[in-house]
Structure 1
Amino acid sequence: MTTMIGYLRVSTEEQVTSGLGLAAQRDTIQRYADAHGWDVIWYLDEGLSAKSLARPQLQAALARLHIIPKRRDVAGIVVAKLDRLSRSVHDFSGILKLAAVRKWSVVAIDLGVDTSTPTGKLVANVMMSVAEWEREVIGERTSVAMQAAKRQGRHMGRVSILPQSTGDRLRSLRATHTLAETAVQLNAEGLRTATGEPWSANTVAKVQTRLLAA
């Protein structure tokens, strides 16, 4: 029988104390699991927001999923609503890419995202395409603004420093991961480049070179 991680999250201490929201999430996931013949292992983050992926139980779940398929004891992660997992399209896109690389499923019941099915994969791919389009549009607007400022003789930019913890995490991942896998994992963990942008294989390579030269 397939075993999935059921991830639950509430953001306020009042919800933690009362149990409001948790019961509804658990019930929704359990009914979906029963319909698909899944066993569920529960992970719960209490009193934490979804602004980033830096949540203890979510990170524990992702670490469990990151084990190579032959040794992995779970097939994916399921949430009742996408906002329980992430409020950021970019972060969610990173999780989907990581899942595709490591071959585990992501299920967000409210949106019909279930990458264990063809239709769910289609919905996930549309969401990732939208996220990529949004990044490109933002990048294009930034480039146009910087070019305009340059023509006017104004400097536009800032000095950005990569946090040491992020650099250390990059080094650790590169010991066992490809450039692309490292980029996906860094994005999935909510870590960003020095300029606040998502990681790519090219960015990982450039930053690794700088770190080695430092």
Structure 2
Amino acid sequence: MKAVGYARVSSQEQIEGTSLKAQEDQIRAYAMMKGLDLITVMIDAGISGGKPLASRPEGSRLADMVNQGEVQAVVITKLDRGFRSASDCLNNVEAWEQRGVSLHILNLGGSTIDTSTPSGKFFITVMAGAAELERNLIRERCNEGRKIRKAQGCRIGEIPFGFSLAEDGKTLVKCGEEQEAIALALDLKSQGYSASGIAGELNRREITTKKGSQWTHKQVIRLLQRAA
């Protein structure tokens, strides 16, 4: 049975050290144990789990392989590596089932799931629903927390690049190093640099974003728009 593996980490998870190699190693070990002919392991690095699988660069390639009948199994380490929600997962599983493709999840609630079996289909439906319930509860708690902070007069939302939050928890104050980076970006723009060129120069100088990651052209565009 031909199979394809899929691994993903978001930009923030990359910063925190979540390992793509660990995911790939687990997928390859599982394929060997199950006798699957693993064609490749597709990797989406720095991609948010909020995007549907088919909207991700490597996720789109995976979907094409499934649609073209090139594989009979898809292997991922955890539910949230492959899908943004329970409905996203179940919609894909149903579509893949019609093409004779099963989904293998190495760790879903501590168990390995194979959707080609009746118990696997049942378990993934229950666990996917539970996972979505948990996310909704977390979102609800976060919203309540924001309301409380807003009522207390605290700042809500992301702190823009170039500023930091004062001790009062409300006031934005300029951050010297980040303001210098903004000035550099504006200067490069005046010299005719594109957003991609500015991102490349910032990265070359090891100037990182607020979250400590490298710059992309989209982030530079937003930076320049705010600074205008």
Q: TM-score, normalised by structure 1?
A: 0.52
Q: 1:51 to 1:14 in 2, by over 3 A?
A: closer
Give 5+ residue unaligned stretches, structure 1: 135-214
Shift of 1:8: 0.9
Q: Partner residue of 1:188? A: none
Q: Partner residue of 2:41? A: 42
Alpha-carbon distance between aligned partners in 1 of 2:28 and 2:93, rounded to the nearest angstrom = 22
Shift of 1:76: 1.9
Q: Partner residue of 2:195? A: none
Is 1:57 the counterpart of 2:58 in the alignment? yes
Q: Partner residue of 1:154? A: none
Corresponding residue SS for 2:65: helix
Q: Partner residue of 2:121? A: 121
Q: Partner residue of 1:157? A: none
CA offsets 1:80-139 (integer angstroms, 9 cap, x no match)? 1111101311111111111122221111111132113343223134457x48xx8xxxxx
Is 1:94 the counterpart of 2:72 in the alignment? no
1:6-155 aligned at under 5 Å gives the runs 6-12=5-11, 15=14, 20-40=18-38, 41-53=40-52, 54-67=55-68, 72-111=69-108, 112-127=112-127, 130=129
Amino acid aligned to 1:115: T
Alpha-carbon distance between aligned partners in 2 of 1:48 and 1:59, rounded to the nearest angstrom = 13
Q: 1:46 to 1:124 in 2, by over 3 A?
A: same
RMSD: 2.7
Quick check: 1:108–1:114 contact (8 Å CA) kept in 2?
yes
Q: 1:4 to 1:19 in 2, by over 3 A?
A: farther
Q: 1:12 to 1:120 in 2, by over 3 A?
A: same
Q: 1:14 to 1:109 in 2, by over 3 A?
A: closer
Aligned length: 126
Q: 1:127 to 1:94 in 2, by over 3 A?
A: farther
Alpha-carbon distance between aligned partners in 2 of 1:105 and 1:14, rounded to the nearest angstrom = 28
Quick check: 1:96–1:124 contact (8 Å CA) kept in 2?
no
Quick check: 1:10–1:49 contact (8 Å CA) kept in 2?
yes
Corresponding residue SS for 2:107: helix
Corresponding residue SS for 1:109: strand
Alpha-carbon distance between aligned partners in 2 of 1:127 and 1:117, rounded to the nearest angstrom = 15
Give 5+ residue unaligned stretches, structure 2: 134-228
Alpha-carbon distance between aligned partners in 1 of 2:78 and 2:127, rounded to the nearest angstrom = 15
Amino acid aligned to 1:123: F
Amino acid aligned to 1:86: F
Q: TM-score, normalised by structure 2?
A: 0.49
Shift of 1:39: 2.2
Corresponding residue SS for 1:106: strand
Q: Partner residue of 2:213? A: none
Which has the larger strand fraction? 2
Quick check: 1:45–1:55 contact (8 Å CA) kept in 2?
yes
Which segments of structure 1 move beyond 3 Å, counting only runs of 4 or more? 125-128
